[in-house]
Structure 1
């Protein structure tokens, strides 16, 4: 099957990019639900699967609306009004979804709006999304966001240097551009402009998407989510930096903790790895968090600490 999307000059002028937390939620949750040992995301899966199971999310409301394959409910990925909306912005949009849209989306999955009512049910879905975000994506968001921002920068440069045609032809193997028409092959979901041409197109890179995904909800422009470049190196272990140079500024213990946070970890885990007492680890992490180098994320009974973009840049410069 092939879908064709015609472009006018106005459509090209209105084509833009966005980084969406909710697209990462649905694509990563689908990967978890598939049960496969993905070669690229294996390290992430091994770390996150036990937390998701402990939180009961593998059998909750999200599991019912994000199947391992097939249709994805459009209301879970609302059209982002900003280039980089926050998760809170997108959850507000989900909570405000009209009942008719929720009913239509659930109907495609063979489900219906629960008797408790749309509003209460959407609140519960949003709560599960917040829990999932905190244990599965927030600790890794600095790394994920770096890849997504680099992808958007690369594509913007492509357009500036070689034009929109080259951008679309290079986006994914199932996407091609010819004669002002975008063609998507092997698409089960048709993406179209019900209101005619001139509404543009929103391109959303995703580190967890394995194929091109489409979204349409007129009068909003269609969305096209696609696999981002650089995702293959996302979970690779980084070269050990020259710790002595950083330690001269931060101290040996805090530098060691930063390097150990190649993957998010709890105070107990860090104490076991480094030999620093749990109390000492907590003290150092508090100082690093105050300096914007570490973030904290609740995961059940534990708190996971993760490096921020500031710390990632510092270690990369010293590597």
Structure 2
């Protein structure tokens, strides 16, 4: 069990933050044991082809059979607006001693430790950064706006709970079986053997919602900043297909499928994201997007490795009319 002492004014220093790299690292659990994460099976199916082209040797080495990941891959975020690029760049500054210790926690037996995690620290960290950058670009970035929406909604909900019922009620709702506030001590019951008690004085406590955990957890080292990760609300709706309401006249003019796309593209989205939201193939979506774009109803712009589509002025007038 891990215990954080929230002394005096520190009760007011509890903050919420969202961590893109935290989500990326914890999602690796679904590779190891997809049956334990049935809510994400749809996403795993959609990214199956893309994952084949990744550095799977390194990516799989970043977890073990118990689904642990190195603590340096889940750094404390400082804001709900944390940037993935900033977090990825910061991995290059991880001290060699921290890299060795965290890898040894995940793979304690040197005889079975993956070769890709041994050798010069700078080389290992460089390969980790490249592997995670490719993973993010192909399997996360198209869906990140949707994931981020769920995470931000959870933070708003927790803030309302604090305002309405107090901080004790908020902690009780994070994980009834794992988290408990006793006086000014927050207890986090862990599945590992980690046990320590430390104060949050001068650092505060950061609460991080995540889409890829079944239970609340915290860093297993007392040297790490005070952080608690917990399961976000609404994960069950993450990969549900959307059926937006479309005007009958619009459906009669351009068809049901293209009408739904035009309604959804009030805000920018990629073809991959739209396919997930509508529960259809990316190929089918691309066919309709090309037709709508050729007809002047959509605009498009490249964003990283994705092409984002948005309703044009003509498209806005057609939907409104």
In structure 1, the residue matched to 2:276 is: 263
Q: CA deviation at 1:81?
A: 3.2
In structure 2, the residue matched to 1:63 is: 60
Alpha carbons of 1:241 and 1:96: their partners in 2 closer, same or farther (altered >3 Å)? same
Following superposition of structure 1 onto structure 2, how do residues 205-224 of structure 1 map, counting pairs within 5 Å? 205-215=209-219, 221-224=225-228
Alpha carbons of 1:189 and 1:148: their partners in 2 closer, same or farther (altered >3 Å)? farther
Q: CA deviation at 1:127?
A: 1.0
In structure 1, the residue matched to 2:161 is: 158
**TM-score, length basis structure 1:** 0.78
Alpha carbons of 1:221 and 1:284: their partners in 2 closer, same or farther (altered >3 Å)? farther
**RMSD of Structure 2 on Structure 1 (CA):** 3.6
Deviations 1:229-258 (A, max 9, x none): 01111111223321558789x999864545
Deviations 1:51-94 (A, max 9, x none): 21x2144x321210123524320111222233321111101111
Unaligned runs of 5+ in 2: 265-270, 311-315
Range moving further from structure 2, 250-259 or 199-208: 250-259
Residue number among 240, 244, 264 corresponding to 2:244 in the alignment: 240
Are 2:90 and 1:90 equivalent residues in the alignment?
no
Deviations 1:288-311 (A, max 9, x none): 434xxxx7664xxxx6x6779xxx
Deviations 1:100-119 (A, max 9, x none): 1001111121348533x212
* Contact 1:18-1:203 within 8 A present in 2 as well: yes
Q: CA deviation at 1:99?
A: 0.5
Range moving further from structure 2, 189-198 or 96-105: 189-198
In structure 2, the residue matched to 1:142 is: 145
Distance, in Å, in 2 between the alignment partners of 1:152 and 1:205 is 7
Distance, in Å, in 2 between the alignment partners of 1:182 and 1:26 is 25
In structure 1, the residue matched to 2:232 is: 228
In structure 2, the residue matched to 1:105 is: 102
**TM-score, length basis structure 2:** 0.77
Range moving further from structure 2, 79-88 or 239-248: 239-248
Alpha carbons of 1:228 and 1:251: their partners in 2 closer, same or farther (altered >3 Å)? same
Distance, in Å, in 2 between the alignment partners of 1:178 and 1:98 is 35
Unaligned runs of 5+ in 1: 309-313
In structure 1, the residue matched to 2:267 is: none
* Contact 1:192-1:222 within 8 A present in 2 as well: no
* Contact 1:75-1:105 within 8 A present in 2 as well: yes
Are 2:192 and 1:171 equivalent residues in the alignment?
no
Residue number among 68, 75, 80 corresponding to 2:77 in the alignment: 80
In structure 1, the residue matched to 2:188 is: 184
Instruction: Classify the secondary structure of the residue corresponding to 1:204.
Output: strand
In structure 1, the residue matched to 2:50 is: 51
* Contact 2:158-2:170 within 8 A present in 1 as well: yes
Deviations 1:151-191 (A, max 9, x none): 00110111122111111011112211222222223441536
Alpha carbons of 1:155 and 1:285: their partners in 2 closer, same or farther (altered >3 Å)? farther
Instruction: Classify the secondary structure of the residue corresponding to 1:214.
Output: coil
In structure 1, the residue matched to 2:268 is: none
Instruction: Classify the secondary structure of the residue corresponding to 1:36.
Output: helix
Distance, in Å, in 2 between the alignment partners of 1:97 and 1:34 is 28
